[in-house]
Amino acid sequence: MAFWTSHLLGLLFFFLLIINQISFITTTNVRVGVILKPTFLHVPVFREAPAFRNGRDCGSSAADRIHVAMTLDANYLRGTMAAVLSILQHSTCPEDVMFHFLCVRHEPVVFSSIKSTFPYLNFKLYKFDVHRVRGLISKSIRQALDQPLNYARIYLPDLIPIDVKRVIYLDSDIVIVDDIVKLWRVDLGDKVLAAPEYCQANFTTYFTNTFWDDSELPKTFDGRKPCYFNTGVMIMDVDKWRCGNYTQKVEDWMIVQKQKRIYHLGSLPPFLLTLAGDITPVDHRWNQHGLGGDNIEGKCRSLHPGPISLLHWSGKGKPWLRLDSRKPCTVDHLWAPYDLYRSSRHSFEE
C-alpha cells in the first residue's frame, strides 16, 4: 500500500510540473498546449586567470582601495575579461583593486563566469534600472550606442556605495599596459572629472547645425574652451558629482536632444555639453582611443605616436570579433594576449 501511495504521489507531482510548463490558449473552442521552453543566455567559456598578489609595499586598509567601474554585458563579456586581466597583470597592488560592475539584470551565469575566471577578484554587481533612461535615449548612428547600459555611467554615483569617493570608469573594449595606480593618483583639483582631452579634434562636428544655428544653445560653452574627451576612460570625483547634481544636468541635455536633435552620437555629447572645457586633462597615453575605427565601417587604424598606457578599441570594430573572423587589424594583436576565451588561439598563456 505504501508503495502505491508513494508511486501515485510521484505521478501527481510530475503531472503538476507538466501543467506548470504549459500555457493553454483557447481559440474557437480548441485548447492548444504550448510548452514554454526556458531561454538560456549564451556566455563564452573562459580559462581561469592566474592569481595576482600584492607587492610588499602595498597597503591593506580601505584607503588603499582603487575603485574601477565597468558595465557588464554578455555581448561584451569577452572584452571585460581581457580588460580586467590587463589591469591585474600590470598592477603593483592587484588585490587593492575593487571592481564595480553595472548590469541591467543579475545573470547567475555571468556572475559564475567572473568567479570561475577570477576566483580572487574583489568585485560587486549593481543592477542598473533601464527605465531611468528609456524615455531619454535618442536613436544614434550606431545601434550599440543606443543600449541603456551605455548610459549607466551617468548614474554611476547613484549606484555605487556612498563611502566610495572616487572611481575610475572604463569601457569594456580597453586593455591597460601600465599600473592603474598612476591613473588613480591623478590630481583632479577642484574638478569633478578628469580625462584625456583632444583639443585638436574638430569639436563642432559632435553637434548638428540645429545646435550651432540656435541663438541660445551654443552659449552653454561661454566662459569655457571646450575640447573633445572620450567618456570611456574617466576619473570621477563621486562626491562632487552628487553635490553638483551632474546626473540631472546630463539628463537635461538628453531632453533637449529629444526635442531638437542636436547631436548624432549616444551618451558622449551630453557629457561634452555639460563638462567639456571644465575637466582636468590627463596625459594622452591613458586613452589611445579609436582603435575600433569609426562608428560606421570600423576600418583599421594605426596607433597614434607617443607612449601608451591604455589601448581603447572605441568605434565599431572590436578586436575579438575581428580576430575570430580571421581579418584582424594589426593593433588587434596587442589585445590578443589578454584574451581568456577558452577556444581562442590567441591566449595569455602563449
Inside any domain, residue 115? yes
Structural domains counted in the chain: 1
Q: Choose between 44 and 14: higher pLDDT.
A: 44
Is residue 26 in a domain?
A: no
Which CATH number does the domain housing residue 221 bear?
3.90.550.10
* Residue 79, domain extent: 66-172+190-284
Copy the grid coordinates of residue 302. 594605426
d(CA 203, CA 85): 34
pLDDT digits (tens, 9 = 90+) for 17-46: 333 443 333 333 333 344 444 445 677 899
> pTM for this one?
0.84
Within a domain: 213: yes
User: Looking at the predicted structure, is the pLDDT value of residue 343 above 80?
Assistant: no
One-letter amino acid at 302 equals: S
Cα 199 to Cα 171, 205, 277, 311: the distances in Å are 21, 13, 9, 19
Residue 340 is assigned to a structural domain of this protein: no
Residue 164, all three cell numbers:
566610495
Is 46 part of any domain? no
Is residue 290 in some structural domain?
A: no
* CA-closest candidate to residue 282, choices 214, 162, 191: 191
Lowest mean pLDDT among 30-34, 63-67, 75-79, 344-348: 30-34
Q: Where does the pLDDT of residue 344 fall: very low under 50, low under 70, confident under 90, or very high at 90 and above? A: low
φ, ψ (nearest 5 deg) of residue 158? -80, -15
Closest CA to 217 of 264, 256, 259, 249: 256
Asked if the structure places residue 2 within a domain, the reply is no
Instruction: Please spell the DSSP secondary structure of 174-211, one letter per residue.
Output: EEE-S-HHHHHT---TT-SEEE-EETTS-GGGGS-HHH
Mean pLDDT of 254-279: 92
Spatial contact of 55 and 65, defined as CB atoms under 8 Å apart: no
Residue 334 lies in a domain: no
Confidence check: pLDDT of 294 > 90:
no
Q: Which helix (H) or strand (E) holds 311?
A: strand 310-312
